[in-house]
Structure 1
């Protein structure tokens, strides 16, 4: 595999030579090399520039750009341009367009306006990918490929008509074999939803006055995920054949939930993701107070950023990842787009490395003069002057950051089927899978603990000191078996709604915990979805601590477990809120302080050091190096040392 062959962190940039006059390209390449950048990412939105009309090609501009970069010692990450099918292709084949949840056909004028299930569009994607790979696949400057761009992002993973609607019944028939099996799995006896012909099954949108059958919606999400996987695989097959020895990756997005990343990434060499810490704060930290958002408005919340780093490191089982787009100034797409604090770009770069990144690519080289991203910054301003991020990249020395292993002793279990079924019926409008998951993740990060985020199937042959399953709602026999094996080696901690659903999305016949009942030693008594004005009080059995829970509470009937915490008021008064059976604990209440307290006790029992970190201060370890990262805009004192705002410091 062609790589940068570096033992330390490497830096690159996303560049769009087609956006500026060609007489400026040489100066840009020279400045990029002087800045210490090793490569440029090219061409992900260039289909219309390469093929302005059906069958008429203009390769010369891209040939010239590659030659200039190469002459200045820069490598190339080439992209397939399939995220932006050109206007002539839409005019010729309008049936490739996706259909939204309201039944409206998407129109040309933005990006990702195609249906992944369209066999016609897959052939067009294969054609343009083949032509690009034939021309550039063996160019020594090309070190790797990025497929498409941000698959499924911005609600584009699902099409509710066209090719997807036609393909869904066949996908179901292959999965269930008989309609009786489908009707049973979906619980179609409810509301007289039984099907007598495969062609009666439509996508789960516009379902009259109520929400669709959740099992129907779950399977449609799985189907759309499979269509994305198949769509990308067409490109992977072409690139493997025509560009051997080059890496293949894809740039996923923040808190991606539109498809099963474990499946979609399985045939990539490593994963990459696009990191925009400030925009991420607004759109994904919906459970945080406005006060917290304001505190981290110019740095992004440290746990939201690091969560995604840990997630993408875990997708391929701990393999190093790339940040393919790193915010280096203000973005343009969030509801609010503050200017980052001075030092934030260096902080984000160091943080990415500490969580397992081997390369960071800044978005973008020069701010755009045109179209949708005019308000988005780059390393250069529109007039070519160096922007703030440019100087921070210049001052950052990547050779100090060796590519050693991240050795986390704690694992968090993540599963997309659980995410989908949880969010289909949250039972509380302020609650989501990510919200619950992040309560456990933040508790560990606040205690100074490094974590791996992995799928339960990845537990095989792994040795952790602690495994935590924050929201493993959907349970299968295979996962249950793996959890039983894991409990023989280390403690397990489960969060609310654990094992409430089976693979079909139905509740198990014997209720919650059916497949792991001997592991947890409890049965569900009741769950309680709390209004924002209601809280439930909880007390530790030894009376040493009390806690207040919001949003969601579960109470348990003890079979072989003991109660370590009980509710002290409300309809669950006296019932178990937290249980423990041998090495397995179940936390039934959503209380940040309760979760942190229980996890701290287990970590201490396992001999893992914990810390009481000040707000916004985090520890991250890679190899023998520990970084203290301060995401606050003011200095923070901790352990007798003063850490300046928005900085990182070697311990």
Structure 2
């Protein structure tokens, strides 16, 4: 197991290295991550490559028996390159070129940047391919983060038109699929098609969908060029990864398109960052980790794990004593196998002075150092537990085409895709069920429950697979607006919603209503249980389905909000609005009993994750609360994590 820190020796006087490495060793470090922002240090002038600084740093690091993850330094290019080739900069929708001074300002489609970035990557990997201490290469840094996945420059415009010409046989086919007859937008040639810069009202939704696909293609192709180059050159003992940033569904790229070519996925885990007054919920944090694990259906690394408060400008919430350590245990419980903290020491100059690390600019060992030390020494005793694969029983599906369709037309001002995914994820998370968050085209036949949040763009093959899954005894849960769009982001003519899912769900939807801030719709069950929904409501007419909750207002009391339909040997549920999570939890509990999910009962805010190693079962219990809780007769301190092992009779034995 590798546990370590992100270290930037170039930020400090080299005389500090001895003391830094000594304290790291005492803390339990066996790996450091270096190099990913140091292009200028390696190529101060064009074509003049100098790796002497890192040669010396690596020799010093090796004296402490540390391994190294080395980052190809292409996320921050040198000022001389910016001056010589200003065409490499991203251009925003107003035609404004980004300025030198931040990071990741480069256009993925810039041929010039591709050439220079591949050259520095080639040089550094060739130089260190035989270095035994370097066991991993990190490609670039946080692809697509902070808006760097969007560019409207001339090169992107030309490549977008070529992308469309390859996708559609003729311009007439594109006109037909996009419906360009509307507003007189018909094109005579692909060269007439714009990029979606600002216009009066809005752009064609079909154009926006293909633009999003093109953005994803652009980033993925850039990433793959670098991944393939490094794989071709690297030493046999070295692996290749890249560090993914969070906020997956707010990005303009499908992470699956390039992560499949990595040796393993890595992630930067920030439960809180600048601007947040409190961390994301345990359910959303868990869903993010399950998404990362779901990309390759394999365990993963975390190469930036938060320890201190964060912020470039506004500083986010300060993790309470032991809270960041709890997040670290939580990450391992959900599939992390190796972890590096960001960062060893907070920088006292530059843009990230308030991205605090294990040691602050005061250079003192404090509470944070002690927490990481305790964590490192403890977690390494359980390497065999966390190396074991996770076999989930519940799958939550997503499709980036669908996500981008929602981003083109939100329909409700309150809509947020991530929150709607978590709305259906959380009822199973609260029961401590094992969950995978996976792309729609993964094989989901072996799961017991498949959850399909707000899938308004349902592709024919997905509809057929959901039907087959349910017929064979599976349980499907689908939420509102399902099947209202086709793959071109258009509403099918002559088809009643939910389109291709109508038979599976046993419903028809004639009308629907967006709900905005302060609006909600009351619902009630036949037994009198009351609830409500926000964001949206579908006015559902069951055909073969049974009503579980109907609307409880004057005009729509004869219509359903939540239904269940028996289909073959299985069941298909429909949730026709943004229903309160507590209500969905009640339904999920019934589903769990029905399909015999492996669950564990815990107090609110206490999470129990089961990990199976051969015929042994371990239970990792995390108290996410800032107050005492209890589990299996054991008092849990605020943010405490406790390991148990299941005995033959099912009793839990606490481990040290």
What secondary structure is seen at the aligned counterpart in 2 of 1:279? Answer: coil
Secondary structure, counterpart of 1:596 in structure 2:
helix
- Contact conserved, 2:603 with 2:629, CA < 8 A, in 1? yes
2:557 to 559, 570, 573: 573
In structure 2, relative to structure 1, the CA distance for the partners of 1:336 and 1:17 (3 Å cut) is closer
1:321 paired to 2:304:
no
TM-aligned CA deviation for residue 511 of structure 1: 4.1
Moved more, 555-564 or 51-60: 555-564
Q: Which residue of 2 aligns with 1:381?
A: 360
2:572 corresponds to: 584
* Aligned residue number for residue 442 of structure 1: 426
Contact 1:331 1:377 in 2 (8 A): yes
Partner of 2:604: 615
1:231 aligns with 2:249: no
The 2-side partners of 1:589 and 1:190 are apart by: 31
Residue of structure 1 in register with 2:654 after alignment: none
Q: CA offset at residue 478 of structure 1?
A: 2.0
Give the counterpart of 1:90 among 82, 85, 89: 82
Contact kept, 8 Å, 1:501 with 1:512, in 2: the verdict is no
CA distance in 2, matches of 1:315, 1:84: 27
| Normalised TM-score (structure 1) | 0.93
Query: Counterparts of 1:180 and 1:225 in 2: how far apart (Å)?
Result: 25
Alignment CA distance shift 1:112-1:602 (3 Å):
same
CA contact (8 A) 1:408 1:451 kept: yes
Partners of 1:162 and 1:388 in 2: CA distance: 51
| Separation in 1, partners of 2:261, 2:336 | 19
The aligned residue for residue 618 of structure 2 is 625
The answer to which of 606-615 and 582-591 deviates more is: 606-615
Aligned to 1:128: 120
**Contact 1:448-1:620 at 8 Å conserved across structures:** yes
1:518 corresponds in structure 2 to 503
Residue pair 1:412, 1:453 contacting (<8 A) in 2 also: yes
Shift of residue 76 of structure 1?
0.8
CA contact (8 A) 2:270 2:305 kept: yes
Structure 1 residue 398 corresponds to structure 2 residue 379: yes
Distance across 1 between alignment mates of 2:291 and 2:176: 35
Q: How does 1:353-502 map to 2 (within 5 A)?
A: 353-396=332-375, 397-401=378-382, 402=385, 403-460=387-444, 462-489=445-472, 490-502=474-486
Deviation at 1:485, TM superposition (A): 2.3
Q: Look up the match of 2:647.
A: none
Q: Which moved more, 1:612-621 or 1:252-261?
A: 612-621
Report how far residue 152 of structure 1 moved: 0.7
Shift in Å at residue 471 of structure 1? 2.1
Report 1:300-339 matches (<5 A): 300-317=280-297, 319-333=298-312, 335-339=314-318
State the secondary structure of the residue aligned to 2:21: helix
User: What does residue 650 of structure 2 align with?
Assistant: none
Structure 1 CA distance for aligned equivalents of residues 504 and 280 of structure 2: 39
**Structure 2 CA distance for aligned equivalents of residues 173 and 221 of structure 1:** 16
Aligned-pair CA distance for 1:144: 1.1
1:334–1:355: structure 2 CA closer, same or farther, 3 Å change rule?
Answer: farther
1:604 match: 593
Shift, 1:346, TM fit: 1.6
Inter-partner Cα distance in structure 1 for 2:23 and 2:546: 65
Task: State the SS of the aligned residue for 2:351.
Answer: helix
2 CA distance for matches of 1:387 and 1:138? 38
Instruction: Structure 1: state its 5+ residue gaps.
Output: 1-5, 284-292
- Give yes or no for contact 2:312–2:351 (8 Å, CA) kept in 1: no
CA change 1:322–1:546 in 2 (3 A) is same
Q: Which residue of 1 aligns with 2:542?
A: 558
Is contact 1:148–1:250 with CA below 8 Å preserved after alignment?
Answer: yes
State whether structure 2 residue 36 is matched by structure 1 residue 55: no
Does the aligned pair in 2 maintain the 1:279–1:333 contact within 8 Å?
no
Deviation at 1:642, TM superposition (A): 2.6
What value does the CA root-mean-square deviation take over the aligned residues? 1.8
Q: Is the CA contact 1:96–1:163 (under 8 Å) kept in the aligned structure 2?
A: no
Offset at residue 51 of structure 1 (A): 0.6
2:272 aligns to what?
Answer: 278
How many Å separate the matches in 1 of 2:490 and 2:291? 28
Secondary structure (helix, strand or coil) at the match of 2:555 reads helix
Quote the offset at 1:564 in angstroms.
2.3
Alpha-carbon distance in structure 2 between the residues aligned to 1:108 and 1:165: 22
Report the Cα distance in structure 2 between the residues aligned to 1:454 and 1:300, rounded to whole angstroms: 21
How far apart are 1:627 and its partner, in Å?
Answer: 1.8
Contact map agreement 1:33 1:73 (CA 8 A) in 2: no
Q: CA deviation at 1:585?
A: 1.1
1:40 aligns with 2:19: no
2:649: which partner in 1? Answer: none
Deviation at 1:374, TM superposition (A): 1.0
Go from structure 1 to structure 2 and tell me whether the alpha carbon gap of 1:196 and 1:570 turns closer, same or farther (over 3 Å shift).
farther
Partner of 2:64 in structure 1? 72
CA distance in 1, matches of 2:366, 2:122: 38
User: Are the aligned partners of 1:11 and 1:398 in contact in 2 as well (CA < 8 Å)?
Assistant: no
Indicate how the Cα distance of structure 1 residues 563 and 336 shifts in structure 2: closer, same or farther if over 3 A, else same: same
Deviations 1:196-231 (A, max 9, x none): 111111211212x21222221111111011011110
Give yes or no for the alignment of 1:212 onto 2:200. no
How far apart, CA to CA, are the structure 2 residues paired with 1:549 and 1:610?
Answer: 27
- Partner of residue 3, structure 1: none
Work out whether residues 179 and 195 of structure 1, in 8 Å CA contact, stay in contact via their aligned partners in 2: yes
**Equivalent residue runs for 1:117-156 within 5 Å:** 117-156=109-148
Deviation at 1:305, TM superposition (A): 1.7
Distance 2:497 2:196 in 1: 26
Q: Secondary structure at the match of 1:458?
A: coil
> Following TM superposition, by how much is the alpha carbon of 1:615 offset from its aligned partner in structure 2, in angstroms?
3.2
Alignment of 1:151-162 (within 5 A): 151-162=143-154
How far, CA to CA, are the matches of 2:563 and 2:281 in structure 1? 32
Taking the aligned partners of 2:556 and 2:258, their CA distance within structure 1 comes to 43
Per the alignment, do residues 374 and 514 of structure 1 end up closer, same or farther by CA in structure 2, a change over 3 Å counting?
same
Matched, 1:346 2:334: no
Q: TM-score, normalised on structure 2?
A: 0.92
Distance in 2 of aligned mates of 1:229 and 1:358: 25
With 559-568 and 219-228 compared, the bigger mean Cα shift is at 559-568
SS in 1 for 2:441: helix
Are the aligned partners of 2:413 and 2:517 in contact in 1 as well (CA < 8 Å)?
no
Residue 116 of structure 1: how far off its partner (Å)? 0.4
